[in-house]
Structure 1
Amino acid sequence: MQLKCVAIDDEPLALEIIKKYVSDYPSLKMVNTFEDAISGAEYLKRNPVDVLFVDINMPDITGVDLVRSLDEKPMIIFTTAYKKFAFEGFELEALDYLLKPINSNRFGAAVHKAIDYYQFKHTDHTAEDEHIYVHSEYRVIKIGVRDIEYIESMQDYIKIHLLSAEKPILTLMSLKSMIEKIPASQFIRIHRSFVVAKAQIRSIYNRKVKLRNIELPVGTNYADFIKDWSK
């Protein structure tokens, strides 16, 4: 496996650094670089690639507008000297976000995430090795399905509560969209705001589901699951 890469940045030195870092990974191949964002965008519309390293703050068009213009989007890794642009990258579901000057170790973490995500997308999965990917904190996060205790809806966002972490993962996604990502055999919706892992249910009493350290209410429209669970 070798992922085809393109880098777009109006700073020649930044391009050279990215090219050098890419050359350190046999799984990556830099097929072209551009100092001109418009030329880079035209190339990408004719030549699909796997990974795009793109600066956000460029003089002709921004990296964000460039990515929005693409019908077929590769995995996006934004690079910029300005942290304030991170949220725009988050909205476009960028794979990662690298702050200049780019550290080689931080670059490596982004590359391994790209490789992992590519392999996930191109591999058949079993329940034992199943993972999902969500966008949180301006980057893609890999979550083991078996590590999910419950999922909580927060209007336009959801909180994913994990067995292995005290702090939940917050991501911009509807609960309905999340339900489509996880295996139906392992999760059950108990309320318009809650989905729980069946394996984590300790008990059900008085229309409340007891998990490890919390009790969650059972909604009126979801009460039938109590009978099914107790069978």
Structure 2
Amino acid sequence: MKIKCLLIDDEPFALNILEDDLLSFDKVEILHKFNSPIDVVDYLRDHEVDLIFLDIQMPEKLGTQFIRELTNPPLFIFTTAYHQYAVEGFELNAVDYLLKPIAKERLTSAIRKVEDIMLLRANQNNIVDHIVVNVEYKKIKIFINEISYIEGLKDYVKIYMVNRNAPLLTRSNLRGMEKILPVKDFLRIHNSYIVNKNRIQHVALTKLTLPEIALPVGKKYVGNIEIF
């Protein structure tokens, strides 16, 4: 199980040091480095990210503010030279709070925490039979086998049900939905679509057919279809 991560720090030297330290961890895969959190939002919409290492004191936006603004943030670890943000960091449910210069044993401990959380989530995915979403200020319980497919609309998603004409609209994004849906039952096929594997009738390289609709398959998701 690889931990796919992003590094965010306005100081290139600090980024390079953290990258070098993380290269010694076989289970860590560095997807991208950023000098500003502002550039990260679009990347998160299009890529599956497990973990973000981010500085707090950055000129364009504080790391804590950036996390607060994300609808469904990945796991995250603050890396900073300042003690005073520690309480706020843990209030935001940070996995860890690492002070620069980062000691190797502290970094190792933080990575182990991430592995434990990801393993727990994977085990939970194996037994999930429903999800709970907010719809019009109410929490709605939806059984997994009632979902046909999900369409992403930037900060909202439409959940199309098997025996319901109108979709349910909830504030989230497809990356957030992927985190709560069981992997064994759902498949990302496009920047805009997740489908219930059990509803798939026919598969082609550019199109996937469900009983009620044919959906496009994005180029970068063809590999998912081939595995399926």
Aligning the two structures, in what range does the TM-score lie when normalised by the shorter sequence? 0.5 to 0.7
Q: Could you say which structure has the larger radius of gyration?
A: 1
How far off is 1:48 after superposition? 3.0
Q: Does the 8 Å CA contact 1:4/1:50 hold for their aligned counterparts?
A: yes
Please give the secondary structure, in 1, of the residue aligned with 2:76. Answer: strand
1:100 match:
100
1:70 match:
70
Partners of 1:41 and 1:19 lie apart in 2 by 21
Residue deviations 1:34-58 (CA, integer Å, cap 9, x gap):
0122112332233230010010110
Amino acid aligned to 1:46:
D
Please give the secondary structure, in 1, of the residue aligned with 2:97. Answer: strand
TM-score of the pair, normalised by structure 1: 0.52
TM-score of the pair, normalised by structure 2: 0.52
Mapped pair 1:22 → 2:58: no
Amino acid aligned to 2:38:
I
Please give the secondary structure, in 2, of the residue aligned with 1:53. Answer: strand
Partners of 2:113 and 2:16 lie apart in 1 by 22
Residue deviations 1:205-231 (CA, integer Å, cap 9, x gap):
xxxxxxxxxxxxxxxxxxxxxxxxxxx
- The correspondence of residues 61-210 of structure 1 with structure 2, limited to 5 A, is 61-123=61-123
Amino acid aligned to 1:13:
F
Q: Does the 8 Å CA contact 1:56/1:79 hold for their aligned counterparts?
A: yes
Amino acid aligned to 1:59:
P
How far off is 1:7 after superposition? 0.5
Please give the secondary structure, in 1, of the residue aligned with 2:84. Answer: helix
2:209 match:
none
Residue deviations 1:92-130 (CA, integer Å, cap 9, x gap):
1111000011111111110011011110111159xxxxx
Partners of 1:30 and 1:73 lie apart in 2 by 17
Across the aligned residues of Structure 1 and Structure 2, the Cα RMSD in angstroms comes to 1.5
1:225 match:
none
1:4 match:
4
Partners of 1:110 and 1:103 lie apart in 2 by 11
Residue deviations 1:54-84 (CA, integer Å, cap 9, x gap):
1011000000111112112111100110000
2:43 match:
43
Distance 1:124-1:35 versus aligned 2 partners, 3 A rule: closer
Identity %: 40
Tell me: higher relative CO, structure 1 or 2? Use CA pairs within 8 A at least 6 residues apart: 2
1:196 match:
none
Moved over 6 A (4+): none
Q: Which runs of 5+ in 2 are unaligned?
A: 126-228
Amino acid aligned to 2:100:
K
Q: Which runs of 5+ in 1 are unaligned?
A: 126-231
Q: Does the 8 Å CA contact 1:33/1:40 hold for their aligned counterparts?
A: no
Amino acid aligned to 1:102:
I
Number of aligned residue pairs: 125
How far off is 1:18 after superposition? 1.4
Amino acid aligned to 1:31:
L
Q: Does the 8 Å CA contact 1:78/1:97 hold for their aligned counterparts?
A: yes
- The correspondence of residues 44-59 of structure 1 with structure 2, limited to 5 A, is 44-59=44-59
